[in-house]
Every structure is written in C-alpha cells, then in structure tokens.
Amino acid sequence: MYKQLKELVTQYVDVSPESITRDSRFVEDLEFDSLDFIAMIGDIEEHFQIEMDISDLLEITTVGDALNYIEHYAVSQKTNASAAYE
C-alpha cells in the first residue's frame, strides 16, 4: 500500500517516490495546495476502494497519516462488507 500511495502522491507533486517518506508532510514538505490534496484524496478513495470521512481529513498531515488511515479503513470496510454477505 505504501508504494501505491507514494505513486499517487507523485501525480500531484514533482518529486520522486524515493524521496517521499512516512514523515513527509503534504503541505510543508511536498507543497500540496488544498485543491491538489482534495483531488488526491478522491484518487485514494477510488484506488483503495475506501470512503474517507471529511472530518478525518483534517488529521491527515503526513504520508504516514494517510497510510495509517488507508490501512485501517481498507481492512475495516472489507471486514464489514464480508460480514454483510454472511
């Protein structure tokens, strides 16, 4: 997931995936503006098949924050979907 997330990030900023770390901050380090950030969130939702809660976006400031969110909610939503079919 980490590699995929870094690839998504590079679609919005002119940096190599290798230079992106979990501690990279979207605004301060990667120079995201708010429109790019929202567009990237849409791509993350589509790519990882998750729905991100708007209130949670305020707490995602680093690549690591985004990765933790994706890992947590991708597993959670798949578990909920599986339970619905049982």
Q: What is the pTM of this model?
A: 0.82
* Whole-number percent of the chain with pLDDT over 90: 73
CATH of domain 2-80: 1.10.1200.10
| 40-53 confidence digits (pLDDT tens) | 999 999 999 998 88
| Gap between the Cα atoms of 83 and 9, Å rounded | 32
Q: What is the pLDDT of residue 22?
A: 98
Judge residue 5's burial from the number of C-beta atoms within 10 Å of its C-beta, 0-12 exposed, 13-18 middle, 19 or more buried.
buried
